[in-house]
Amino acid sequence: MKTIALKIKMHGTNANVTNNGNVKRHILNIMLLSLGMLAFCYIFLLGSIVFNIIERRTFEVDARALSNEVMNLELQYLSMSNKIDLTLAKSMGFQETKTKFAIRKTIDSIKLAKNEL
């Protein structure tokens, strides 16, 4: 045990230990600077969240107003479309046309030439 104590004492006196007060001050400054940066980031993010919430609420109010306007326009369209009938169209100069449908001939009705297929 004494030999270990002597070895530690020998190595302890040979060791070059510098006790700089500046190192502790630098570490403290770095910690305070990082704390300040984190606080700034926190305040910035919190502020942007609050502003986004306020902006979303204004957009919701605008969306409600627009949906009410669309609903009123749809009601106007329906009331105007109910007024349209055949007599109104004829008074405006529209005429009924005779409908013609395109039909396709089936293969059975097509006559094939002798040299085909």
pLDDT tens digits, 55-77: 999 999 999 999 999 999 999 99
pLDDT mean over 96-112: 74
Question: Among all chains, which residue has been given the structure tokens 């957009």?
Answer: 59
Could you write out the DSSP letters of every residue in the chain? -HHHHHHHHHHHHHS-----HHHHHHHHHHHHHHHHHHHHHHHHHHHHHHHHHHHHHHHHHHHHHHHHHHHHHHHHHHHHHHH--HHHHHHTT-------------GGGSPPPTT--
Query: Does 117 score more than 60 pLDDT?
Result: no
Domain chopping of the chain, boundaries: 2-92
Q: Could you tell me the CA-to-CA distances from 71 to 63, 76, 78 in Å, in that order?
A: 12, 9, 11
pTM: 0.46
Whether 21 shows a pLDDT value over 70: the answer reads no
